Amino acid sequence: MAPRQQWFDLLRLQLRQQHGKGWSVREIGASSRNPIGRCQLTRIWEDRTRSSVVMPLEWKATNATAILATVGQLRSLMEERNLSLQDAHKLNTELLSGPAATQEGFAGWPEVAARFLKSQDGRRSSTLRDLTARVERTLQALQTKPAPRDGASLMRTYASKFFESCPAGGVGRKRNLLDVARFLTYAVDECGAPTRFYPPSKAKINELIGSAETSAADHLTPPVMPEDLAALLDQLEADGEHELRLAVGLVGLFGLRPAELAVLQVRDGKAYVGNVKRNSSNLGSKAKPARLVKPIDIAGREGEGERLLQLYASGLVKLPKSIRTQIALVEQKGKFQDVGADFRQKLERYKPWQALVARCPGVTPYSLRHGYAWRAHCCSANPMHPRIAAALMGHNVATHLKHYGQWTDEASLEAAVDRYNQGVHPVAA
């Protein structure tokens, strides 16, 4: 009677059938204290040179399928990316090629997600929260039946599952898909996912983002008009809301981001603000110097911004206590958003502000800053150059034109017509 065939003999036969000569496996590392060793894979080339790696799989019958699948993944990585066996093995850990993996599939998505999110630890909390949600959605999309087989089909599945309430052409779709693309690139480059999971071309991603039915101008938060800001400041004064009036006046007259109240300084009678925009492009970089900010007057209220600045510097009137509390917590929290959030909350609870919003739909506390840009370009016989306005507001000219371009264009048109008409009309002797 022929002896019973050992499980590893069958495994070696299957290995030769699937991959041909030159691939072999054996047990290594067994001892009296550790009777079960691990599986060593050896690749022998035609010139008899060889290379070996020890796979993170125990040498036992229950691991035969996993061993065979792992060899298939290693071979695919070597051939797809022109890698050595050792380099392919670095991308193919135990966690990324368990029993669920096959030559056609990839079992390591949860581990890839964990590694990817860990690599993003330095991002601010709100960004990391959004990124985590998008990665979790990607894992859900991967579980859809039929399962996505590449980056393009995965993105299509993601869009069909999660874009129902996300308008076409909007920033929401763009941010979602760009984060999915970054995750997929990391999975392939750093964790050995099959190269077919590289994200599709920019053109294909743009197709999923779609085109907005409305223009960018329709989405721009409207500005607080000069007369409305004047009336609001008057009402705050009449109601004895001196601290909130100081905060509103500084934001509206100086064009500050509400969070910049946390970094407002007065030196030699001039106002400066530090940087509150913390993102991946400036993390770990040298801090930007504080920028000079200047008030833009409202007709009939000339000098009001300078008076508020002097009041702020003197300490006779302080910012609202809750805003000061959030400013004190900035260093501990490592973020400025809660300063702006508290400013927004206080203003939105103020009934005259509620009345203004009811009369001017779309106005938000941030509209006070937009009002600064409006006045810069549309409320003077000498409109401010976009480069100057952008510098005062703390962003570049491209950003300024993107958000306020229609205002600068309108101001330029009106100024050009005025200059033309002045040339037509005869000058009185």
Q: What is the pLDDT of residues 355-403, one digit of tens each?
A: 999 999 999 999 999 999 999 998 888 889 999 999 999 999 998 988 8
**pLDDT tens per residue, range 165-223:** 888 888 889 999 999 999 999 998 888 788 889 999 999 999 999 876 544 444 568 89
If one counts the domains in the chain, the total is: 3
**How far apart (Å, rounded) are the C-alpha atoms in residues 369 and 228?**
13
Residues 236 and 358 in one domain: yes
Q: Which amino acid is at 122?
A: G
User: How many Å is the Cα radius of gyration of the chain?
Assistant: 32
* pLDDT bracket for residue 281 (50, 70, 90): very low
Domain that holds residue 309: 226-369
Residue 306 resides in a domain = yes
Residue 85 lies in a domain: yes
Q: In the listed set 213, 235, 263, which residue is the last one of a domain according to the structure? A: 213
Same domain for 56 and 130: no
Residue reference for tokens 């500005």 = 223
Please check whether residue 334 lies inside any domain of the structure: yes
322-to-218, 274, 309, 340, 343 alpha-carbon distances in Å: 34, 21, 20, 11, 9
- Does 411 have pLDDT greater than 90? no
C-alpha closest to that of 192 among 99, 66, 65, 107 = 107
Angle, in degrees to the nearest 10, between helices 171-191 and 125-142: 70
Per-residue pLDDT for 3 more than 70? Answer: no
Residue 58 lies inside a defined structural domain of this protein: yes
Task: Point out the domain boundary residue: 346, 369, 392.
Answer: 369
What is the average per-residue pLDDT within 147-153?
A: 92
Residue 185: per-residue pLDDT = 94
Helix pair 242-254, 337-348: axis angle to 10 deg = 120
Q: pLDDT category, 73, cuts 50, 70, 90?
A: confident
In a domain, 132, yes or no: yes
Does 365 lie in the same domain as 233? yes
Q: What is the pTM of this model?
A: 0.56
* pLDDT of res. 98: 46
- State the pLDDT confidence band at 309, using cuts at 50, 70 and 90: very high
CA–CA distance, 392 with 294 (Å, rounded to integer): 7
Instruction: State whether 361 and 324 are in the same domain.
Output: yes
User: pLDDT averaged over the chain?
Assistant: 87
Decide if 308 contacts 248 (C-beta within 8 A).
no
Could you give phi then psi for residue 25, rounded to 5 degrees?
A: -130, 150
User: Is the CB of residue 200 less than 8 Å from the CB of residue 152?
Assistant: yes
Answer yes or no: is 394 within a domain: no
Q: Nearest CA to 375 among 234, 159, 258, 226?
A: 226
Quick: pLDDT tens for 225-262: 999 999 999 999 999 999 999 999 999 999 999 999 99
Do 156 and 39 have their domain in common? Answer: no
Would you say residue 169 lies in a domain? yes
- Chain-centre distance for alpha carbon 151: 20
In a domain, 131, yes or no: yes
